[in-house]
Amino acid sequence: MYELFFLILIILIFFIDYARKDNKISNLKNKINDLNVLYKKEKDTFNIINENNIHLIEKNKQIIIKKEQTIKDYKQKIIELNEVITSLKYSTKNNIDYSIKSLNEDNSNTWKNKYEELNKKYIQTHDEVIYLRRTYDKEHAKLILLENELEIAHKKIIELQKNNLQKYRKEDIENINDWRKFEQFIAKQFKIKNFKVILTPQTNDGGKDIIIEKNSIKTYIECKYWNSNKTIGREEIQKLAGAAMTDGVKNAIFITTSTYNENALETARALNKNGFNINLWTTKDLLAFINK
């Protein structure tokens, strides 16, 4: 009788403990979903801010170009008007000399009228130069202000890019779930890092999936989107190295979502000792390259 009671008690304790664990797992899943939603929201916000700032910079660039042209026009006008002023001063001086002769000839009214006309033109022109110089100063101040705003906007974009730079996680690689998309993803990441990239055809690829080149150094890349229970062996490493050596290429990278067995590691070490350069990457190494 007591044995049956204890057996029932143990079964109840087991089910209670199982329910608690199941509840914890459910809570963790909800938290992960909430974090994924927050991550997507932050990413979308950054993209919107980035697009707006880029648009603002382009708009300000166009305004600055127009203002610079306006300032050039004002400068040219000032030069032209200064030449007019000099000419008018010279003309006024000559008229004074001429007026003395005119006075002797009893023609003072003619001299007086010409002098007043020239003097009036001189005053008007001088006033116009002052106005243009003031306008130039205002436009130049606006230009400086726009340049400062442009610099601030540019710094904001750099700061946003540093703070919101997309960081890939192991889950992102696992979610690709397609070997060809995995190859395309890796090719894109090398392009972002300023490599010249060639993605080979899906079939008859000649033993390599991607060809990259930087600083005149060519490298062959083989990608294997395998489950963790299937390891890379000697045969896969030799195939990639053989394809590279046949084409006179001395560098190679093997990238897999799986792992390498001891035979693969020994083969890579032997190749590296004999003048060939091959790197064996797992998902961890790929993420380190992408996110640095």
Same domain, 149 and 233: no
Looking at residue 269, its pLDDT comes to 96
Looking at residue 208, its pLDDT comes to 92
Same domain, 200 and 153: no
In whole angstroms, what is the distance from residue 187 CA to residue 200 CA? 10
Q: Give the residue among 159, 144, 283, 278 at the shortest CA–CA distance from 226.
A: 283
Domain region containing 265? 170-291
Looking at residue 24, its pLDDT comes to 61
**Residue pair 287/168 in contact by the 8 Å Cβ criterion:** yes
Same domain, 128 and 187: no
Cβ contacts of residue 254 below 8 Å, gap of 6+?
Answer: 221, 222, 224, 232, 236, 237, 240, 268, 278, 279, 280, 281
Same domain, 132 and 184: no
Domain termination residue (choose one: 131, 163, 195) = 163
Same domain, 131 and 176: no
Q: Answer yes or no: is 25 within a domain.
A: no
Q: Answer yes or no: is 5 within a domain.
A: no
Q: Answer yes or no: is 18 within a domain.
A: no
Domain termination residue (choose one: 163, 195, 220) = 163
CATH of the domain at 223: 3.40.1350.10
- What is the maximum alpha-carbon separation in the chain? 153
In whole angstroms, what is the distance from residue 101 CA to residue 166 CA? 88
Q: Answer yes or no: is 16 within a domain.
A: no
**Residue pair 255/223 in contact by the 8 Å Cβ criterion:** yes
Same domain, 183 and 124: no
CATH of the domain at 149: 1.10.287.1490
Same domain, 150 and 195: no
Same domain, 115 and 174: no
Q: Answer yes or no: is 29 within a domain.
A: no
Looking at residue 275, its pLDDT comes to 92
Same domain, 129 and 225: no
Number of domain units in the chain = 2
**Residue pair 212/197 in contact by the 8 Å Cβ criterion:** yes
Looking at residue 41, its pLDDT comes to 67
In whole angstroms, what is the distance from residue 132 CA to residue 188 CA? 55
Residue 177 phi, psi (nearest 5) = 55, 30
Q: Answer yes or no: is 6 within a domain.
A: no
In whole angstroms, what is the distance from residue 67 CA to residue 73 CA? 10
Looking at residue 5, its pLDDT comes to 55
Domain termination residue (choose one: 163, 193, 221) = 163
Same domain, 57 and 147: yes
Q: Answer yes or no: is 286 within a domain.
A: yes
Q: What is the mean pLDDT of each run of 10 residues along the chain (292 residues)?
A: 58 61 64 64 62 62 66 66 61 52 53 65 69 74 76 66 66 91 94 94 85 95 93 95 94 96 96 95 94 86
Same domain, 75 and 112: yes
With 0-12 CB in 10 A as exposed, 13-18 as middle and 19+ as buried, what is 132? middle
Q: Answer yes or no: is 23 within a domain.
A: no
Same domain, 79 and 186: no
With 0-12 CB in 10 A as exposed, 13-18 as middle and 19+ as buried, what is 26? exposed
